[in-house]
Structure 1
Amino acid sequence: MSYGFTLADIEFLTSAAGTDALAGVDALELTSATYLADVATARKLVGPNVGPVLETVLLRRKAVSKMDSPERWLFTDDALQQATPAEVAQHRAARFAGRDVHDVTCSIGMDLVYTSYTAGISVGSDLDAVRVHMARHNTGLPVLQADALRPVTRGTAILADPARRDSSGRRRWRPSDFAPPLDALADVYAGRDMAVKCAPGIDPSDVPWAREIELVSLNGSVREACLWTGSLATPGVRRRASVLRTGAEPWSITDADPDDCPVTAPSEWLIDPDGAVVRAGLVRQYAARHGLAQLDPRIAYLTGATPPAGIRAFRVVEHGRYTEKALRQELARRKVGKLEILVRGLDVDPNALRPRLRLRGAEEATVVLTRIGNTPTALLCNAVRTN
C-alpha cells in the first residue's frame, strides 16, 4: 500500500530539515537485498518523518522513467502512475503555443510545467489539496484548489487529464469511466478550446464533441488518446496518429492523408504499423505514404518491397497455409530454437502454441500467424531494424 501524504508532510519535505533528510535517505541503496537494513537506518536518520521521506526518495527514483530531473519533485504514487511522460507532455504542449492555458486537473503538475514552456499564462487547479501543494512546489506556477467542473478562469484554453476509474478489464473505455466524466467536461467547457487526455481505448462514437482524436505512442507503446476541441483541433482532421521515439523526430499521419493502397500477396517484407496508427484506423494512410500494400483489407499487416526507415520490419523467408503440424515440421527443418510468435486475426494463443512446436536448435525466427481472405496463413520471417 502506498503512503498517504498530508499537508504537514509537504511542509516538512520542503523545509531545510526535509531537504537534508531526503539527501540522507537517498544515499542508501534501497535495493531488495538491502531494503530492511536501509529502512532501519532511515528511521534512525529521520525519526517520525521517515514515511514521507522514504516514499519520496523511492518515487523520485521511479520517476526517472518519465522525466529527466525528478530530484526536486514531490509525488504521490497514484499521481506518478498517471503522470504524462515528459516526451508526450512536450508534444502536446506544442499545440498550446502562445495561448493562456488552464490545466483543470493538474495533479502534481507534470503537464502544467511543460505547457508553461510554450504557453502565455499557465495556471493549474486540482480538487486534492495535497496535489495542489505538490504542484505549487514542483512548478513554481499558480495552482488553485478547485473542482474541474466549476470553472475559475475565463478566456483560457483548457487542458484536462481525468482520473481513470476501474473499467473492469474492458478494452473499450466509456466517458463515464473517468473522473470527472468526459461528457461533463465537454458540457462545462462548451465553446472553449480544450484538450482532454484519456485512455487509448476510447471509441470516437462515444465522444462526438471531440473535433480531433489523436492517438499517441511513445517508443512503440500506445500511451494515450487526446481529444481536441475548438481551434486547437486541426481543420479537416478527425483522426490523427502521432508517433514519438526517444532520439528521433516525431511524426504524424491523419485521416486527411491519401489512403489509396492495393491488396496483394506477401512481398519481400512484412510491416506491422505502429500501434497508434492501428488504433487510429490509419493503416491505409500509412501504407499509401510508404508505398505498401495490405495483405487483407481487414488485417493491419502491410507488405512491400522496401520497409519504412527506423522501424522493426520482418523479411519474409516463406509463407503458406497455416497448420500447426506444417509449422512444427518447418521449424524443425530450419533448426529454430528461439521463436517470436505474432498473431492477428486468428484464434491462436502463442503461449499455448509454443510448447507444442517442440523448438530445437540454434536459429532464431519470427512467425506471423494471420488470415488472408479466409485462409489461415503463416509467414516465417527474420526481424530486422531498418535504417
Structure 2
Amino acid sequence: MTYRPTVATAVPDLTMLTLGVEEEYLLLDPDTGENLPVADQVLTALRGSARDQSRQEFRHSMVEMVTPVTADLAELRAQLVTLRRSAADAAEAAGARLVAVGATPLHEPHRTVPDKPRYHAMSRRYGPVAHDPAVCGCHVHVGVPDRELAVQVCNHLRPWLPVVQAITTNSPLHDGVDTGHASWRGMQLERWPSIGPTPYFGSAAEYDRTVDELIAAGVMLDAAMVYWYARPSASYPTVEIRVGDVCPTVDDAVLVAALARALVATVLDDARAGVPAAPVRDCLVSAAHWRAAHDGLDGELIDLRAGGARPAWALVDELFAMVTPALDRHGDLAYAIGQLSRLRREGTGATRQRRVLDRTDDLRAVVDHLAAATVAT
C-alpha cells in the first residue's frame, strides 16, 4: 500500500488558508546560455535557512527552493525574494546564473540524472523521457487538512486550472528557437504517463485505490509520482496546484499563489456544502490545457463550463470575479488587482521573452532579461 497522510478527524477551521510555494530554476552558463550542471555546487554554497529550504532536482542544471508555510501574502513575497537572491548568489559562486524559466531555452549537453536510487529507477523505467531537457515549474500548496475535502476540491478545480496555466506561461523557447507555444514545458511534460489533468474522483478512497492500481500497472513508481495538475499532496496536508511554469518574477509568482489560494477557498465552500463538481469530459480538459500552453493569454482559451473558445482575458476576468470574495477575506484583493493590471500591460513571461527576442534578435539577450527578472525585487 502507498503512504497516506493522516486524515483530519475534525472539521478544520478553513477561514484563512495557509500557503507554500515550491519554485524550480535553471542554472545557465553566463556566456553561452546553455544549461550548466552545477546543482551540487550551488546547493553546497547555500547557507543557513536557504540550505534547509533547498531541494535537489532531477537535473544537474536545476535547483528547487521551498518557502516555509505562511498565511500572509506579504510574508510569502519576502520569503521568495530572499530564497531567489540566496540561490542566485550561490549560483554565481558556482559560475552559473539562476534563471526562472519554464523550459531549457537553448541547449542542455549534460542530461544524466543525479546519483540517487530513485532517479536511477525512474531513468530505467521511463527511458529517454527521463532524459528530456530540464523543465521548471511553480507548485502552490494551499492548506486543506481533510483529504476527503481535498479530493473534492481537486474535482472543482478542473475547469479553472487551464486559466491558471495560461497566466503562468513562461517557456516559449527551446533548442534556440520559438516553439510557437507559450509553454513548451507543458508540451514536454505530456510525455510522462503520470502527468496531466486530475481525473474526477468520487472519494478519497477511490483516489487512493486508483493510485494503487496505477502503481501496480507500472505507470508510477510510488504515490509521490502522482504529478496531476492538482492533487492532495502525498507529504503535506494541502492541495497542491502544480500546473504552472515557474514564474519570471517574484510578483508573478505571488499573484499566482494568491489566485490559487482564493480559487481553492472558493471551491472549498461548495465542496463543504456537498455541491458536486461540474462534470467535464477528460478529453476536453486535456484540450483546454493544450490550448492554454499554446496560446497563453495572447489568444483564446477553452471555456469548459459553456464550451467553445473565448478570449483568454475574458476567462481571467471571470476567474477573478469568482474569487474576489476569497481574495478580500485573505487580505489579498488590492495586491491581486494591481498585479493583474500589470500582467495585462506587460503580458505573461512568454510574451515578455518574445518581445525581447523581437527587439534584439539575440537569445542571450532573452537570457539576460530572464536572469535580471528572476532576482528583481
State the TM bucket, normalised to the shorter chain. under 0.3
Structure with greater proportional helix content: 2
Provide TM-score, normalisation by structure 2.
Answer: 0.25
Q: Which has the higher contact order (CA 8 A, sep 6+)?
A: 2
Structure with greater proportional strand content: 1
Provide TM-score, normalisation by structure 1.
Answer: 0.25
Q: Which has the larger radius of gyration?
A: 1
